[in-house]
Amino acid sequence: MGKITKTRHPSKIEQYNIESLTKGILSFDIPSLARAITLIESNLEKHLGLSQTLLHRILPFTGNSIRIGITGAPGVGKSTFIESFGTYLCEIGKKVAILAIDPTSSVSKGSVLGDKTRMERLSRYPNAFIRPSPSGGALGGVARKTRETILLCEAAGFDVIIVETIGVGQSEIVVRSMVDFFLLLIPPGGGDELQGFKKGSVEIADAIIVNKADGNNIHLANITKQEYLQALRYLLPATEGWTTAVLTASALENLGIEDVWKIIQDFVDNTKNSGAFDRRRKEQSLNWMHLLLRDYILDSFYRHSKVKAILNEMELDVLNGKITPTAAFRKIIYSMKNENFIGFE
Ligand code: GDP
């Protein structure tokens, strides 16, 4: 078995021809795009270098899409909505890429988002590209891969890039940090939850869509919409100069889908004119670099053999009340000053 892996491995690495991948991506060749994403998702050191070369080549062709984040609790209708919305966009001639960040896929093997059986109708459109969430690894790594995938999709010529996630933990904040426009899907009813856990999601949304506004739910959906409009009056807008929109829609019956696109176009016109659009993108790029630096430094620090050794000792001393946490922290840092560790030179 070992032998098979050894002989197959190098040829797999050599498969990536950056020149032809670049050409393929720039001419909207979907198999090339998919291969490039696989390269970016690889954790092999050799692939990291190659993928950066590729990204460097395509960078001048990026930045021209509208990046939309979509969140909502499981069952609220995200995939149904994305299918309707994506289909609408394809019908009006747009090229649409759907990416996902699924925090559950790194915890367990099962994924809530992005499996292939979802969005079957949309996947039949040649202008639609659906890519499941990169699996495994910490959220930081998944985020890096998704950010770079956005760049690849833009170079390929996608007009709209949708990044889907579920309202769990940090994943919404991570998606907010890589998109221009952030959409929150909610079900009819439950406006009273606004005081609690939903507030965080509402605060970062540029539009809130009360989905499932059909059949017997229409009245309730309108009440929910009013409740959210009221509550938003007391919150700061998620984007400077933009008033968070609240709409009702039915993903299942294709109602209100066009209005969502109108709102997004309004948002883009508005924020491009005011400069807020470009400012956010620039901030996002800088924050991304700093995040990478922070992750790298933290990781190297905790992996350092000297840190590992002294950390155990200090943890015990803190637990046994022998030393204060501050004194322990100072001892650890002091011991690293002699190690030429990055950041302590
Ligand atoms: P997700 O988990 O957020 O992706 O939700 P799904 O898109 O899988 O939808 C969950 C369930 O809600 C499915 O049974 C859908 O058919 C249903 N659903 C989604 N959108 C609507 C809608 O607009 N109206 C109604 N009545 N049902 C919907």
pLDDT (tens digit per residue) in 73-120? 889 999 999 999 999 999 999 999 999 888 765 555 555 565 546 788
Cβ–ligand 1 distance for 171 under 6 Å, the answer: no
Query: Residue 75 and residue 77: Cα distance in Å, rounded?
Result: 5
Query: Residue 256 and residue 249: Cα distance in Å, rounded?
Result: 5
Of 76, 80, 224, the residue with max ligand 1 atoms within 8 A of its CB, to mutate for a pocket test, comes to: 80
Segment 145-195, tens digit of pLDDT: 999 999 999 999 999 999 999 877 788 999 999 999 999 999 999 666 665
What pLDDT sits at residue 195?
58
Cβ–ligand 1 distance for 260 under 6 Å, the answer: no
Q: How far is the CA of 335 from the centre of ligand 1 (A)?
A: 56
What pLDDT sits at residue 345?
43
Nearest atom in ligand 1 to 217's CA: 26
Segment 24-64, tens digit of pLDDT: 999 999 999 999 999 999 988 889 889 999 999 999 999 99
Of 87, 252, 257, the residue with max ligand 1 atoms within 8 A of its CB, to mutate for a pocket test, comes to: 252
Average pLDDT of the residues in 115-128: 82
Nearest atom in ligand 1 to 250's CA: 23
**Pair 204, 239: CB distance under 8 Å:** no
Cβ–ligand 1 distance for 80 under 6 Å, the answer: yes
The SS3 of residue 330 is: helix
Q: What is the DSSP string of 86-151?
A: HHHHHHTT--EEEEEE-HHHHHSS--SS--TTSSHHHHTSTTEEE-PPPPSS-HHHHHHHHHHHHH
The SS3 of residue 343 is: coil
Average pLDDT of the residues in 121-133: 92
Q: How far is the CA of 187 from the centre of ligand 1 (A)?
A: 10
Residue nearest to atom 6 of ligand 1 (CA): 77
Q: How far is the CA of 156 from the centre of ligand 1 (A)?
A: 31
Q: Is the pLDDT of residue 137 over 50?
A: yes
Cβ–ligand 1 distance for 73 under 6 Å, the answer: no
Q: Is the pLDDT of residue 231 over 70?
A: yes
| Axis crossing angle, helix 139-156 with helix 30-41, rounded to the nearest 10 | 160
**Closest by alpha carbon to 144, among 337, 299, 25, 345?**
299
Segment 240-277, tens digit of pLDDT: 999 999 999 999 999 999 999 999 999 999 999 999 99
Q: What is the pTM of this model?
A: 0.87
Q: How far is the CA of 82 from the centre of ligand 1 (A)?
A: 11
Q: Is the pLDDT of residue 342 over 90?
A: no
What pLDDT sits at residue 192?
61
What residues are paired with 247 via a beta bridge? 209
Segment 291-312, tens digit of pLDDT: 888 888 888 888 888 888 899 9
What pLDDT sits at residue 116?
47
**Pair 233, 269: CB distance under 8 Å:** no
What pLDDT sits at residue 15?
73
Cβ–ligand 1 distance for 163 under 6 Å, the answer: no
Q: How far is the CA of 181 from the centre of ligand 1 (A)?
A: 22
Q: In the structure, what pLDDT confidence band is assigned to residue 10 with cuts at 50, 70 and 90?
A: very low
- CA atoms 332, 334, 338, 339: torsion sign: positive
